[in-house]
Amino acid sequence: GAEQAYRRVLDSAELSGDRHMVAAVLWRMAELALDQGQLDQCQELAQRSATVASAIGVPCEEAQAARVQGLLHATRGEHAEARVCFEHAMELMHNLEEGLDLARVRFHYGRYLLTKGNREPALTYLKDASRTFRKLGVVGEGQEVNRLLFQQEMVANRDMALLQGISGIVSLGVEPQVLLERAVGLLLEALKFDSATVVGRGRPLLTLGDVNVKNAIALGESPEL
């Protein structure tokens, strides 16, 4: 699995004395441990990563370790500590180039701020992250941040939220079928429907939820439409 692969890379990096790689692998292992609910292991690995990165002067890796620590504290409900870690990560990335690492810090901090009711700074961070994800073609995190932005925009302007949400999916360059599925999913959420089907040339192209496909096809073929 991923943990074993990381262990092999870590052993190799430690053997060769590549401390930069050691720091990078450690925070990735910490993030994996967090995803698996291994909070104590996450804390140990993230702290080791931060210590190594700080010692060799690699702010980018130290920032990622701080980001993971922020996520860990948020998971534990330690919100003061979470904010300190996220702010530290932002400070470490301040003078570095725009890129995936900075976008990840902005994304996770923005998402955290939303949960605490700090909407305006959260949206700023999330929009900045979204632009970078689109530029780099990062699909997974790009879709997640776009979903958060869509949900927030829905409160103010549903039509604009739909337009921006679908445009955001298109900009990620996903496959046509994925684009169709994501776009219809946004429509369902916006209209508060439970199901939908897209019909083309007498056959269903996509079905979400419980739909009577035969009736949908018949409706699509109606000369009144």
In sequence order, what DSSP letters do the residues of 143-170 get, joined into one string? HHHHHHHHHHHHHH-HHHHHHHHHHHHH
The tokens for 73 are: 């504290």
60 close to 82: Cβ distance less than 8 angstroms? no
32-71 pLDDT, tens digit per residue, is 999 999 999 999 999 999 999 999 999 999 999 999 999 9
More confident residue, 109 or 143: 109
What does 116-143 look like in DSSP terms, one character per residue? TT-HHHHHHHHHHHHHHHHHHT-HHHHH
- First CA to last CA distance, the chain: 52
70 close to 89: Cβ distance less than 8 angstroms? yes
Dihedral pair phi/psi, residue 210, rounded to 5°:
-95, 105
Q: Cα(179)–Cα(91) distance, rounded to whole angstroms?
A: 36
145-175 pLDDT, tens digit per residue, is 988 888 888 766 666 667 777 777 777 777 8
More confident residue, 128 or 211: 128
86-127 pLDDT, tens digit per residue, is 999 999 998 888 899 999 999 999 999 999 999 999 999 999
105 close to 93: Cβ distance less than 8 angstroms? yes
93 close to 106: Cβ distance less than 8 angstroms? no
- Cα angle: 21, vertex 25, 29; to 5 degrees: 170
